Amino acid sequence: MGVQVSDIHFSWAGRNYIVKAHATGKEHIVLPNRKVLRPVGWLFDGGTPQLLKADEVIHHLEHASVGEIAEHFGNAILAHEAD
C-alpha cells in the first residue's frame, strides 16, 4: 500500500507522520503515541497542504486507544508513522 500524493507528511518531536489531506478540516490530530496536536497553521501553496505549526494538547487519556482519544476530541484525525 503506497502513500497517496494527497497525503500530508509532517514531523513532530523528531518523528515523521502522515495524515490524509482532509486533515486540514480537522481540529485535532492524534498521533500513534497518543499525543494530540491542534493544528494552528497550514500552508496552501498549490499541491499538497503543509502543516506549518501545531500545539500539543494536554489530556488525561494516556491509557486509552488512539481511536478512543480521537472520539473524545470529536473533530479529529489519526496520523500514521511514516517509514
**Total structural domains within the chain:** 1
Residue 27 in any domain: the answer is yes
Residues 39-73: b if buried by 16+ CB within 10 A, e if exposed: beebeeeeeebebeebeebeeeeeeeebeebbeeb
Residue 33 in any domain: the answer is yes
Residue pLDDT, tens place only, 39-80: 999 998 877 889 999 999 999 998 999 999 999 999 999 999
Q: Hey, what's the cell of 7?
A: 497525503
Q: Hey, what's the cell of 57?
A: 494538547
Per-residue model confidence (pLDDT) at position 74: 92
The pLDDT of 24-30, averaged and rounded, is 95
The pLDDT of 8-32, averaged and rounded, is 94
Residue 2 in any domain: the answer is no
Residue 1 in any domain: the answer is no
Find the domain containing 66 and state its range.
8-81
Residue 34 in any domain: the answer is yes
Residue 3 in any domain: the answer is no
